[in-house]
A = this chain, B = another copy of it.
């Protein structure tokens, strides 16, 4: 592949004017791909992939067409990584923490408990060496990964009764995502793995005590407030949660340069679009949830601190037996401390002040 690209480059440089027409014909071929998404078709996470594939088509005058499919149409929701790795599809859209069972290193591409918020994650990816590290890792799976969106900080979930202390968590059956489950199980929670469609009935009949999903906009559609009114925050296991586009490595390498740029720019554009959509939809959804009886509660300091300490113990344990995890964790921890030093100064003090003035008559 490298050799062919080198030769193509040499031809273009040496004979651009003489071979103008054939060169153009070669660089804008018709390309048809399929994208399989992990996310239901009525979610912002899916809308982001939809926005992305439309942008790619528009940017290439319809020459590069990607058709998006929902979970189950080609492969199930949690088999997107495998489908791209095996070449079943050319590309996919997913949340990398679905694949923690293969390797905990996937967490850094999506969400790590008490990790980076969206802006810090993007700073790490694009200017802190993060994306290079992640791409090295994804090569093991024949995948070229492109960040394509984020949810922002998620909520901590819906609880049937109030949770005030670490003791209240003992034995609690909580439907939650993978990394959170590993932390919480160490302080007595019994994590539950339940498919999206089964969560509501399980919560309703008390088979589980609590469930977390995303944030107000998505949670409202699931109707959890009707059966578990205590709505806890923050979702400390998802200070940000990134969506990635996975591209089969050989397909990526075979793309003309212009299409690579079109796909990258479309992913960057979609990332901004998705985050701002979440940030615009969540506020009115939260207001509606409160009007419908949801009761907001912060996780207590005791719970937050216990989970924080447990999480970092876990990271160091994983790093001691997983060199790939360690190779990302160490620079990530260093970068994270630097970001916190700065963000707590200007950004956080501004936010804290204006929020304290909120609802004041202006």
Q: A-side interface residues toward B, CB under 8 Å?
A: 24, 27-28, 55, 58-59, 61, 114, 117-120, 122-128, 152-155, 215-216, 233-236, 239, 257-258, 261-262, 264-266, 268-269, 271-273, 275-277, 279-284, 286-287, 296, 298, 304-305, 308, 312, 315-316, 333, 337-355, 357-359, 362
Contact = CB atoms under 8 A, between A and B. Distances in A.
B261 A342 contact: no
Given A234-B349, A283-B341, A343-B351, 5 more contacts: A59-B262, A59-B265, A123-B277, A126-B272, A286-B341
Q: Is the interface of A mostly helix, strand, loop or mixed?
A: helix
Contacts of A284: 338
Given A58-B261, A59-B262, A343 B355 contact: yes
B127 A350 contact: no
Contacts of A235: 346, 350
Given A215-B346, A347-B153, A357-B308, A280 B340 contact: no
B234 A345 contact: yes
Contacts of A347: 117, 152-153, 234
Contacts of A61: 24, 27-28, 258
Contacts of A264: 269
A342 B216 contact: yes
